[in-house]
C-alpha cells in the first residue's frame, strides 16, 4: 500500500510539533511472515526537538518533523544517513493513528500495541 496522508494526517500537520511527535511516538516492528518480529522492534520517542528512532541494540538517531505528516527527516547521526537514508515515510490510517513507518533499507515497521 502506498503511504497515505489522508484527512487525519493532514490535520496532524496543523498540530503543534510536540503533539505531532506524541502521535508518532510508540513501538514499531517489521513483519516476518504472519507475525511482527518483536526481536527487531524499535521505538520512536518524542524528544524536545522532534523524535528519536531507538533500536533494541542501542543504536539511535534523531528524526525531525517536516511539516508534512507523511514524512520525517532523518538526522545526520543515523548510521545509514551517508548511504542515502534521509527520510522516514509515515503511513496513517483513517482514524488519525500511525499505521506504519518505513525505516532503513526501505523496510516497513508496523505500529505495535503498547
Is residue 2 one of the residues assigned to a domain?
A: no
pTM summary value? 0.83
Query: How does residue 11 score in pLDDT terms, banded at 50, 70 and 90?
Result: low
- 83-90 contact pairs (CB < 8 A, 24+): 88/53, 88/63, 89/3, 90/3, 90/9, 90/24
Is residue 50 one of the residues assigned to a domain?
A: yes
Number of structural domains (the chain) is 1
**Phi/psi at 104 (nearest 5 deg)?**
-55, 150
CA distance 39 to 57: 10
- CATH number for the domain including 16? 2.40.128
Q: For residue 5, how many C-alpha atoms fall within 13 Å in the half-sphere facing its CB?
A: 13
Tens digits of residue pLDDT in 35-93:
989 899 999 999 988 999 999 888 999 999 998 889 999 999 999 999 999 999 999 99
pLDDT at residue 1 is higher than 60: no
Amino acid at each position: 500500500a502506498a503511504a497515505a496522508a489522508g484527512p487525519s494526517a493532514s490535520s496532524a500537520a496543523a498540530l503543534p510539533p510536540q503533539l505531532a511527535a506524541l502521535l508518532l511516538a510508540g513501538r514499531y516492528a517489521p513483519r516476518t511472515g504472519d507475525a511482527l518480529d518483536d526481536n527487531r522492534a524499535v521505538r520512536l520517542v518524542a524528544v524536545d526537538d522532534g523524535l528519536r528512532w531507538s533500536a533494541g541494540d542501542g543504536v539511535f538517531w534523531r528524526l525531525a518533523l517536516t511539516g508534512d505528516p507523511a514524512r520525517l527527516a532523518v538526522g545526520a547521526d543515523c548510521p545509514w544517513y551517508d548511504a542515502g537514508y534521509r527520510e522516514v515515510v509515515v503511513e496513517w490510517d483513517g482514524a488519525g493513528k500511525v499505521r506504519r513507518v518505513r525505516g532503513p533499507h526501505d523496510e516497513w515497521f508496523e505500529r505495535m500495541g503498547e
